Structure 1
Amino acid sequence: MAFFGSKKSRTALAASLRDSSKLSSRLRDLLSDRGTFSRLAACLLAIAILMIAVESWKAPFPYRLGEFSEHGILANTSFKVANPIETDRERTQKESAVPYSFNQQPEMIEKLPLLLREDLIAIAKAKSLDDLDIDTKAELGLTSSRRLEQFIDQFPEESEQTFAELKSVVSSPDSNDTKKIDEIVADFKKLISPLLTYGIVNENELTKNEIRADDAIAIINESNDSRRIVTTFDIRLTNQLSENGVIGREWKKYPKLAPISAILSHWLLFQAPTTLVYDATKTLDQRKQARMQVAEIFDTFQRGTILVEPGQMIEDTQLVLLYAEYEAKELTVPTYERVIRVAIIFLMLVVLAVLNGYHLLHNKKDVATTVSRLSIYLSVIILTVFLGRLLSYDPWRAEVLPLIVTVMVFAIVYDQTMAILTALSLSLILCLSTGGSLGHFVVLMSVSAIAVTSLTTVSSRSTLIKIGFGMGFTYFLVYWGINLINKQDLSNGFFDQRVLWESLQGAGWCLAAGYLVAGSLPFIESLFGVVTDISLLEMSDVSHPLLQELVRRAPGTYNHSISVATIGEAAADKIGANGLLVRVAAYYHDIGKMLKPQYFIENMVVGSESLHDNLAPAMSTLIIIGHVKDGVDLARQHNLPQPLIDFIEQHHGTTLVEYFFREAEKQADLSPDHKTDAEESSFRYPGPQPQTREAGVMMLADAVESASRTLSDPTPKRIKSLVHSLVMKRLLDGQFNECSLTLSEINIIEDSLVKSLIGIYHGRIKYPEERSA
């Protein structure tokens, strides 16, 4: 109550409310501006993406391969680590336990008894061995030359004796009586019935698929959906016919077959088809499934377990344990702590954003006020952080590569201040988000400083390579030196192989950055809309199609452009501007004149009538002014870079086409009805006014070079007076209001232009004429 009762307090409250109202009004105005809102949204989006890129909700993993642990590292929490060796062993066992799948085709076995009956009838009807065909004799082992090797000892030496024994078993007094044969075939059918279950495999199939004798086999009969697990022994016919085989052990049950068991076995080996077909797809699928069903085996480590011994380097095994302990610890972090961490990182990124944004607003307004350029700048920052974090881990350890590439690009595209400010921000973000030490931050900033201070100009691609070598040497020296001074025992640190290797590795990445920027320079120029000295030197070649066309169509304009380039470059160099840019831009600044060359005085033949004599001043002005638009169109058709197009648009600014304006005024004075035809705004170039120091230099060089040609007696005094007059006229006309030229720089430019023109128009000694003899 006392506060509101005090008049002074009420006045202070009212003032505070007015200030708040003004602030709210300004904020509303600021947000109502679509461009400002878009740029603010782009910045906030970039910060959000950066927070995702740096995993702001997690603490950084600080350990790297090869780091020295002086005091050792203990586990802060209990955790489990996958044991890949044991897991693989268990999975391999389960995989190998899966049997090989074979598909059974039993119908082929069912045909064997009928085939045997045909051969036995042939034996019964034959009067001698010679009456049998060759195939039948070979199948029954009656031909010693074709007899299977394992049956050599089981047959009599004479084939006729074998034939006689077999015939006695199968023959009857009545040659047409097949009762004995039918009984033998019936017993034989029972004997081989196990083959309907086990089948017969091709030996080559086993060899080709490396199936061993003790491997399990799954026999699948699709006709009755049966599945039987056996061994390789059970499906090989030679094993089946042996004493312990499914057929061999059954001979004694069939007295009619026992006497001719060797002959029937021989016949089976000849006649029996392959009924088992290996199903590789099903086997591999079942083994893969069995392998996947085995859960991963973990080793458990309790809190306090020594993960890295004191004085030991972090090796691959220890690094796996440390990362597993780190992940286990992250799982125990409460949600409120993660929120606090995210908030702190957000505030840190905002501080860096404000720092960089302040520089952009005051020194790079074209970037800060253009959404597209700002988006490119922010995108490069985000990409650098993302790649830097990705490459910071083992085995790459190459976070310096994207950092240095970005710093070099910004030094080329923008300026050194912006590049070093960006290097500071990126180095902080990378070190804090990857657990990097203060020493590593010093290394990154040292290399960045070398890159920025060396990139004042890019006169050749070899310059970038040399800078790469310089950065590499700096990285090696600083990294090695920091690791050395951090050791108590310096004598052991001089030739530490790990430190030397990491120093060389980082130096190699720095050199790679130089090569990368040098190789991608054309793409960088196209993306950011800039030109380097390399491109300017390439474009200064007079064999360029535009310049050749200018020489052919408008030789006077070409000579004028060459003169402007000469005097403009000298003036730009005097004030520390980019003289090469002025020179090359001057070559192209009047290319629009080649479309209507006869309308410009430098292309007119002496003594010829001017085409403007038959035109109204306003029409002549349109033709004269039109060369700017025509030049811009030609430049874009020939893919000239935007900075050169800016020179074409700005080299006349918004100056007045004074000659035709005065003519229009004279005509208006003679004809009052046409007074509106002499409005000054109709006789001015559309602009824009020069936006850079270089564009301001070229405006003056273009004006004084053209005007100097009108001097009948170009004495130094007249040249100086003419140049001063033209400079003051454009200064007072406000043509330099939008560029950063100062009065002192304009004075330096004026002096340089005067000296250059005096040098061009200096007097020569008149040599005496030759006397005739």
Structure 2
Amino acid sequence: MKDFINKLYKNHSLIYKSLLFVSTTILIVYLFPKSGKFKYDFEKGKPWQFENLLAPFDFAIKKTDDEINTEKQLITSNVALYFNVDNTVEPRVNKAFSNAFKIAFKDSINPNTLAQLRKVGTNVLNKLYAFGVLNENYDFDDNRAVTILDNRTKKHDAFYSNLIEQNQVSGIIDEALKNASLTLYKPQITSLFFDIVSPNLTYNKSLTDKAIEEALSKMSYTRGSVEKGTLIVSKGEVVEGDKYQKLKSLQSEYESQVWSDASYNWVLFAYALLVSLVMLMLLLFLRKYRNKVYENNTKVTFIFFNVALLIFITTMVVNYNAKFIYVVPICVLPLILKAFFDARLGLFTHVLTVLLLGFIVPNSYEYMFLQIITGIVTILTVSELYKRANLFISVGQITLIYIIAYFAFIVIHEGSVDSIQWETFIWFILCGLATLFVQPLIYAYEKLFGLVSDVSLLELSDTNSKLLKELSNKAPGTFHHSLNVANLAEASANEIGANAMLVRVGALYHDIGKMKSPTYFTENQSTGINPHDELSAKESAKIIVNHVIDGIEIARKYKLPDRVIDFIRTHHGTSVVYYFYMKEKEDFEMVDKKDFSYPGPKPFSKETAILMMCDSIEAASKSLKEPTSTKIDAFVENIINKQVEEGQYLNANITFKEIQSIKKVLKQKLANIYHLRIEYPE
């Protein structure tokens, strides 16, 4: 049992990666659509690139969206409108008319005229309530069929034009009076009617909507069918019109058919295979080309998390409305990975993620082409992300590439610009604006995952920071030395394409351990008193060597990132404190070299190797007397060649060519520092 536990502990990193791999694969497969995928990729207006396609089974031809919308409008307009009638209104109005008429018209009026007026009034009421008076005006077509209900029982069938709107009453009265040549009495009659007329029809919206819904439910979404074995499209034919609709119908039928349990499980298994294959490629890439990232479980988790997060967001958008697919800022992924790692890892991960998204999005080829192109542009254009202007410029370029590529696709597909959906350009602009969110996102990731980006390195490079100010006060000579080393290291890094910001920050903090015993280091001895004179060579060496350990402790206390602490650990590698080692050998024959050696490790990156060279050159250059170009060249060559012979750079991925370039930079910089002039012959 103990052996088993020890074995588990020994392989805990591999076990964790396996669990991460499996869980991420399961999550992504869960997000994927659970149906088969049509094996033919076709586009409207382009030739059919495959062999002649025969119908694999009987299927119905689906109507186009335009056909369905037109039919829905036709059905909706043909469904009768339902109105409820209040039967108590008409008798009440008739009675009110009789009473009001007697009051309004006295016996002084000619009896014949009075009889005519009463008849006109009665005719108007009969016309108003023949079908009914509406309680409000509605925006319906005059020819729309209407059903009038009395207590849910059909009373009349009519058209909407038969119903009287309240603003029509005055016109009906005018017409009746004109026909009877009684326009003289218009004011009295109009006033009378406006006092007594009441609406008796109310629109029954719920019943009408129910009737429309019932009619729409009977609508057929297909037109005709294709029998098994029928030729759908021949090789080389342009996919358009009826052929395109048949292909879309076949695709829809194929992808939406009900799967048996066995088939469903096979689909899941196939998805799992493809997703696991992609995620495995990512792991193998990390293991082969980015081993330091691979060995760090936090960093691997971070990469997998970002891939899964983008797939999740894209899936949610597609499920909501696929037209918003280009609003999702996919280019945030390579931006973030480049900020924390490097461009190559960012691009590789981006391409794999886009390949996975091809299973989810519509028009997958177009989508993948656009996203891969913009991902490449992102990697090529974004540099020094900590400079705000660079990010804005890059986002503008990304948005422009989206628009140009989309425009080209539409012209190829449609053959003209008339069918361009201009609102898609708005989605691209929104995508660009969303990409700007990468800055706060990087900050959040730094806190969540303990990673370091160039933005944080820029903050650490501020010489007014608390720790560097303390170094300046306690060990001013060391602080000045660190500044000089930082300048040399930054120039060297720029020469060979290394991370200049990282190596500069590492150089600024590499000697903070000297703050613990500053006077034991010559650059801080301003009084001319050397405390090493009172110590043995071994004790002196121990103090010198311990500045590395002390530096790591101080860095941990001030919560410096591990990437910066690496420079403190490695800037002397496993080299020997040569001065005190030779001094000890003068007094003793047997001397253990380990007592005078730094604990290491050796530099394991270009940046840490650069710091080791620059630190040694800058410190030793103080011993140069009457420096000349020849002396400086020999001096630089001797120090760095000695480090190479000792194998200090064996673990760093730095080439001899790059070392030669660094030597050249250091020689030039030292020559500038000492203001050398041309050596004239005597």
Q: TM-score range by the shorter chain?
A: 0.5 to 0.7
Residues of 2 paired with 1:297 and 1:618: CA distance?
A: 99
Q: Which residue of 1 aligns with 2:211?
A: none
Q: Which residue of 2 aligns with 1:594?
A: 515
For structure 2, the 5+ residue unaligned runs are 1-6, 47-58, 64-71, 73-81, 83-150, 152-213, 226-239, 243-247
Q: Which residue of 1 aligns with 2:577?
A: 657
Match of 1:441 among 351, 365, 368: 368
Per-residue CA deviation, residues 697-718 of structure 1 (Å, 9 max, x unaligned), is: 1101000111111223323322
The one-letter code matched in structure 2 to 1:36 is L
Structure 2 residue 423 is the aligned partner of structure 1 residue 501: yes
Residues of 2 paired with 1:477 and 1:653: CA distance?
A: 52
Q: Which residue of 1 aligns with 2:504?
A: 583
Cα separation, partners in 2 of 1:455 and 1:603, compared to 1, 3 Å: same
Cα separation, partners in 2 of 1:378 and 1:344, compared to 1, 3 Å: same
* Superposition RMSD in Å: 4.0
Q: Which residue of 1 aligns with 2:618?
A: 705
Q: Which residue of 1 aligns with 2:259?
A: 333
1:106-117 mapped onto 2 (5 Å cutoff): none
Structure 2 residue 385 is the aligned partner of structure 1 residue 463: no
Residues of 1 paired with 2:488 and 2:454: CA distance?
A: 19
Contact 1:439 1:482 in 2 (8 A): yes
Q: Which residue of 2 aligns with 1:363?
A: 289
Number of aligned residue pairs: 497
Q: Which residue of 1 aligns with 2:14?
A: 36
Contact 1:388 1:402 in 2 (8 A): no
Match of 1:753 among 653, 658, 666: 666
Cα separation, partners in 2 of 1:707 and 1:484, compared to 1, 3 Å: same
Per-residue CA deviation, residues 204-258 of structure 1 (Å, 9 max, x unaligned), is: xxxxxxxxxxx9xxxxxxxxxxxxxxxxxxxxxxxxxxxxxxxxxxxxxxxxxxx
Residues of 1 paired with 2:224 and 2:557: CA distance?
A: 70
Structure 2 residue 267 is the aligned partner of structure 1 residue 345: no
Per-residue CA deviation, residues 582-635 of structure 1 (Å, 9 max, x unaligned), is: 223212211121121111111012532x21222233322222122222222322
1:724-763 mapped onto 2 (5 Å cutoff): 724-763=637-676
Identify which range, 538-547 or 699-708, moves more after superposition: 538-547
Q: Which residue of 1 aligns with 2:432?
A: 510
Residues of 1 paired with 2:45 and 2:391: CA distance?
A: 35
Cα separation, partners in 2 of 1:468 and 1:377, compared to 1, 3 Å: same
The one-letter code matched in structure 2 to 1:332 is V
Per-residue CA deviation, residues 303-354 of structure 1 (Å, 9 max, x unaligned), is: 84589xx989xxxxxxxxx99x979975721122222222222222233233
Q: Which residue of 2 aligns with 1:245?
A: none
Q: Which residue of 2 aligns with 1:203?
A: none
Identify which range, 463-472 or 532-541, moves more after superposition: 532-541
- Tell me by how many angstroms 1:764 deviates: 7.6
Residues of 2 paired with 1:520 and 1:547: CA distance?
A: 28
The one-letter code matched in structure 2 to 1:355 is M
Residues of 1 paired with 2:491 and 2:376: CA distance?
A: 31
Q: Which residue of 2 aligns with 1:299?
A: 217
The one-letter code matched in structure 2 to 1:510 is G
Q: Which residue of 2 aligns with 1:115?
A: none
Structure 2 residue 301 is the aligned partner of structure 1 residue 383: no
Cα separation, partners in 2 of 1:360 and 1:409, compared to 1, 3 Å: same
Match of 1:422 among 332, 349, 361: 349
Contact 1:585 1:647 in 2 (8 A): yes
For structure 1, the 5+ residue unaligned runs are 1-28, 77-82, 84-92, 94-214, 216-295, 313-321, 670-674, 766-773
Residues of 2 paired with 1:402 and 1:454: CA distance?
A: 16
1:429-578 mapped onto 2 (5 Å cutoff): 429-487=356-414, 490=415, 493-496=416-419, 499-513=421-435, 515-527=436-448, 531-578=452-499
Contact 2:446 2:452 in 1 (8 A): yes
- Tell me by how many angstroms 1:579 deviates: 2.5
- Tell me by how many angstroms 1:637 deviates: 2.8
Residues of 2 paired with 1:327 and 1:496: CA distance?
A: 27
Report the TM-score when normalising by structure 1: 0.58
Contact 1:39 1:369 in 2 (8 A): no
Contact 1:420 1:448 in 2 (8 A): yes
The one-letter code matched in structure 1 to 2:217 is D
Cα separation, partners in 2 of 1:636 and 1:523, compared to 1, 3 Å: farther
Per-residue CA deviation, residues 443-463 of structure 1 (Å, 9 max, x unaligned), is: 222221211211243250221
- Tell me by how many angstroms 1:362 deviates: 2.0
Report the TM-score when normalising by structure 2: 0.65
- Tell me by how many angstroms 1:759 deviates: 1.7
The one-letter code matched in structure 2 to 1:597 is P
Match of 2:593 among 661, 680, 691: 680
Contact 2:410 2:417 in 1 (8 A): no
Contact 2:503 2:611 in 1 (8 A): yes
Cα separation, partners in 2 of 1:30 and 1:730, compared to 1, 3 Å: farther
Q: Which residue of 2 aligns with 1:403?
A: 330
Residues of 1 paired with 2:341 and 2:434: CA distance?
A: 22
Residues of 2 paired with 1:392 and 1:330: CA distance?
A: 17
Per-residue CA deviation, residues 259-285 of structure 1 (Å, 9 max, x unaligned), is: xxxxxxxxxxxxxxxxxxxxxxxxxxx
Cα separation, partners in 2 of 1:335 and 1:579, compared to 1, 3 Å: same
Contact 1:74 1:306 in 2 (8 A): yes
Cα separation, partners in 2 of 1:354 and 1:331, compared to 1, 3 Å: same
Per-residue CA deviation, residues 123-181 of structure 1 (Å, 9 max, x unaligned), is: xxxxxxxxxxxxxxxxxxxxxxxxxxxxxxxxxxxxxxxxxxxxxxxxxxxxxxxxxxx
The one-letter code matched in structure 2 to 1:586 is A
Residues of 1 paired with 2:361 and 2:325: CA distance?
A: 12
Residues of 1 paired with 2:25 and 2:262: CA distance?
A: 21
Per-residue CA deviation, residues 520-553 of structure 1 (Å, 9 max, x unaligned), is: 3323444565544444333332211122111111
Contact 1:400 1:444 in 2 (8 A): no
Cα separation, partners in 2 of 1:462 and 1:516, compared to 1, 3 Å: same
Percent identical residues? 27
Cα separation, partners in 2 of 1:763 and 1:452, compared to 1, 3 Å: closer
Cα separation, partners in 2 of 1:730 and 1:436, compared to 1, 3 Å: same
Residues of 2 paired with 1:430 and 1:329: CA distance?
A: 17
Cα separation, partners in 2 of 1:379 and 1:530, compared to 1, 3 Å: closer
Per-residue CA deviation, residues 47-93 of structure 1 (Å, 9 max, x unaligned), is: 22221122455659x9xxxx999xx99459xxxxxx9xxxxxxxxx9
- Tell me by how many angstroms 1:297 deviates: 12
Q: Which residue of 2 aligns with 1:689?
A: 602
Residues of 2 paired with 1:413 and 1:752: CA distance?
A: 28
Q: Which residue of 2 aligns with 1:286?
A: none
Contact 2:476 2:524 in 1 (8 A): yes
Q: Which residue of 1 aligns with 2:568?
A: 648
* SS of 2:359 mapped into structure 1: helix
Per-residue CA deviation, residues 483-503 of structure 1 (Å, 9 max, x unaligned), is: 22101xx3xx42436x21113
Cα separation, partners in 2 of 1:527 and 1:680, compared to 1, 3 Å: farther
Residues of 2 paired with 1:525 and 1:604: CA distance?
A: 40
Contact 2:329 2:431 in 1 (8 A): no
Q: Which residue of 1 aligns with 2:552?
A: 632
Residues of 1 paired with 2:17 and 2:345: CA distance?
A: 19
Residues of 1 paired with 2:581 and 2:617: CA distance?
A: 19
Identify which range, 32-41 or 436-445, moves more after superposition: 32-41
The one-letter code matched in structure 2 to 1:441 is M
Cα separation, partners in 2 of 1:335 and 1:563, compared to 1, 3 Å: same
Residues of 2 paired with 1:689 and 1:55: CA distance?
A: 50
Contact 1:465 1:511 in 2 (8 A): no
Residues of 2 paired with 1:526 and 1:685: CA distance?
A: 33
Cα separation, partners in 2 of 1:588 and 1:396, compared to 1, 3 Å: farther
